Amino acid sequence: MIKVRVLLIIAFCSFINACSSLPSEKNTPLNNLDSYQERQAKIAQLNQWKLTGKIAFLEGKKRESANIYWQYFPKTQTQQLTLTTYLGIQVFSLTSLDGLHTLTLDGKSYTDTNLSRLLDSFTGYPLPATQLTQWLFGLAANNSDQVHFAQDKKLPSRLTTESYDSLWQVKYEDYQAINTLFLANKLTIKHQNLTIKLLISEWTL
């Protein structure tokens, strides 16, 4: 876990530079939006999605970040996730197949049927990994998740839930049009004193 955090710290400066290069929400045209139900139905029809960008973890005085590549197949819940530093050094890679999750670090592989437990063991961060695949799209992962909308908008502005022992909050700060969908490209996730910032440079559907 120590090496994971050292590599993440190395990448933090590049994440800060990327923050200033993204357009603000007010510059994103949001015309002819689908209703929430229509948007939800379109997302449910996706066979796969892929994103690339940067992710940062802020907890107390700790500041860590990495480049992120994430490909996910919703029908089979198969995925490939890789974090690298700005120099291209791999922090770790993760694959999920048939309910078994494998994390590869320093040439060694570790497996678990519980993805959140596996990630927590090596990153030190308690991540609701399964729910994140829904939260990215502004969708509720279960009945306790509450999606909030900005006034006069059909797109989610934030999501809150208390179903994982304590409060989680997701804020959707900017959107971009991908094919016929508007998807968030700037998110902030908060849990206790942990803040996760995700800047998505490219979505592929």
pLDDT (0 to 100) of residue 42? 94
Which tens digits make up the pLDDT trace of 83-112?
Answer: 999 888 999 999 999 999 999 998 999 999
Per-residue b or e along 17-32, where b marks 16 or more CB atoms closer than 10 Å to that residue's CB: ebeeebeebeeeeeee
**Paired residues of 67 in beta bridges:** 54, 84
pLDDT in tens, 15-65: 444 454 444 444 455 556 788 889 999 999 999 999 999 999 999 888 899
The residue-averaged pLDDT of 147-176 equals 87
Which backbone phi and psi does 56 adopt, to 5 degrees? -130, 145
CATH 2.40.10.10 is held by the domain 2-23+34-204: no
Domain ranges of the chain: 2-23+34-204
Q: What is the pLDDT of residue 20?
A: 44
Supply the pTM of this predicted model: 0.83
